[in-house]
Amino acid sequence: MPSITLTLTDTPAGGVSLTSSFQPAIGYPCSAAQAYALDIMARTRKDWGLQPEVDASVPTPRAGWPRLYLCGPMTGLPDYNYPAFNEAAAQLRALGYAVVNPAENGLPASATWAQHMRADIKGLCDCAALAVLPGSQASKGAQLEIELATRLELTVASVATWSDLATSGQMSQLVQAATYQTRSAS
């Protein structure tokens, strides 16, 4: 079974350095252990006031492309559907999008639904569009996020549509069309 090593080291300046042996593979979902290790690292960095680790394997988002919020079902699904969220985030980031992934909101999975929704809605408000995962129509939280995004006049489209937009070379025309469709539907 694979293992992940987290190392805390005292620095000469009296601080702490946090490193991990885990290197995520772009386009592949994290295992539960890998996702948990990343969550521990992110929370520890935040709690101790450390700078977030810069991951050179994550491409720089393309200028002018919308920042996407991932929306989808979590409650009642195995591992809260984090593997699907992490896979979609990796896929969209590899294409050049900046992505806010609620599976990376820094809260433990044991936090209440309301705590997660408050953190997630803050993340949604920093985005220009929603990328919707399959199964969202059956999710109370996802429906709330879609309703809020629609009322805030954000573009709402499936993860597959955003992937197609990135590879089509016609991002600006298609984003304008999607925005018009979202507005006329409300």
Cα separation, 181 vs 184, whole angstroms:
5
What is the model's pLDDT at position 183?
47
Model confidence band, residue 182 (pLDDT cutoffs 50, 70, 90): very low
Model confidence band, residue 95 (pLDDT cutoffs 50, 70, 90): confident
Q: Is the pLDDT of residue 73 over 90?
A: yes
Q: Which residue has the higher pLDDT, 13 or 182?
A: 13
Model confidence band, residue 186 (pLDDT cutoffs 50, 70, 90): very low
When pLDDT is averaged across residues 172-176 and rounded to a whole number, the result is: 56
What is the model's pLDDT at position 175?
54
Domains delineated in the chain: 6-47 (no CATH), 68-185 (3.40.50.450)
Looking at the DSSP bridge assignments, the partners of residue 19 are 7
Taking alpha carbons only, the member of 138, 143, 97 closest to residue 120 is: 143
What is the model's pLDDT at position 184?
45
Cα separation, 94 vs 138, whole angstroms:
28
Contact 69, 131 (CB under 8 A): yes
Helix (H) or strand (E) holding 76: none
Q: Is the pLDDT of residue 7 over 70?
A: yes
Contact 55, 25 (CB under 8 A): no
Taking alpha carbons only, the member of 19, 22, 15, 23 closest to residue 7 is: 19
Mean pLDDT of the chain: 78
Taking alpha carbons only, the member of 52, 182, 74, 75 closest to residue 129 is: 182
Model confidence band, residue 27 (pLDDT cutoffs 50, 70, 90): very low
Considering 11-15, 19-23, 48-52, 101-105, the range whose residues carry the highest mean pLDDT is 101-105
Q: Which residue has the higher pLDDT, 183 or 67?
A: 67
**What are the C-alpha distances in Å from 139 to residues 44, 71, 85?**
30, 10, 14
Q: Is the pLDDT of residue 143 over 90?
A: yes
Question: What would the pLDDT profile of 97-140 be if each residue is shown by its tens digit?
Answer: 899 999 888 888 788 989 989 999 999 998 999 999 999 999 99
pTM of the model: 0.64
Model confidence band, residue 55 (pLDDT cutoffs 50, 70, 90): low
When pLDDT is averaged across residues 153-175 and rounded to a whole number, the result is: 81
